[in-house]
């Protein structure tokens, strides 16, 4: 079973989720999305797997959110996705993907639903 985690090593929830996977004997493919952001196509796939709209995956407390006026309801989904690709810090983390399903590791145990 291939498992991928969109990981930020500086985030405690991301580290906890990675440790949980490893405790379960899973050696996931780790994507440090801050240095290797997803493409538009990949982020769109992830949103579909999460059953989320782009704004729901956005970290609204980040300065990039405010600085780029991303709270503007007139922005299209494509514009929001582009903002997350341009500023990957805006993507909620961690995200675990396997078997065509995805979950956000908040709390970390929520990813166990798809394993």
Catalytic residue among 4, 11, 64, 65: 11
Residue 68 in this model has a pLDDT that exceeds 90: yes
Give the C-alpha distances (Å, rounded to integers) separating 49 from 11, 69, 71. 22, 27, 24
In the chain, where the domains are located: 3-114
At residue 100, the 3 state secondary structure works out as: coil
In 3D, which of 48, 38, 56, 36 has the Cα closest to residue 100? 48
| 11 included as an active-site residue | yes
Question: Cα–Cα distance between 51 and 44 in angstroms, integer?
Answer: 10
CATH value of 3-114 in 3.40.30.10, 3.90.1720.10, 3.40.50.2300, 3.40.50.720: 3.40.30.10
Instruction: Read off the pLDDT of residues 84-101 as tens digits, 9 standing for 90 and up.
Output: 999 999 999 999 999 999
pLDDT of residue 1: 80
| pLDDT averaged over every residue in the chain | 97
């Amino acid at each position: 079973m291939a498992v991928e985690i969109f990981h930020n090593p500086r985030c405690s929830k991301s580290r906890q989720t990675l440790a949980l996977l490893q405790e379960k004997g899973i050696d996931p493919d780790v994507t440090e999305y801050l240095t290797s952001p997803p493409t538009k196509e990949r982020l769109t796939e992830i949103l579909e797997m999460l059953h989320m709209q782009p704004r729901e995956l956005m970290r609204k407390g980040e300065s990039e959110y405010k600085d780029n006026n991303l709270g503007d309801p007139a922005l299209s989904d494509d514009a929001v996705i582009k903002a997350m690709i341009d500023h990957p810090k805006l993507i909620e983390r961690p995200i675990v993907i396997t078997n065509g399903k995805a979950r956000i590791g908040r709390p970390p145990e929520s990813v166990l639903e798809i394993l």
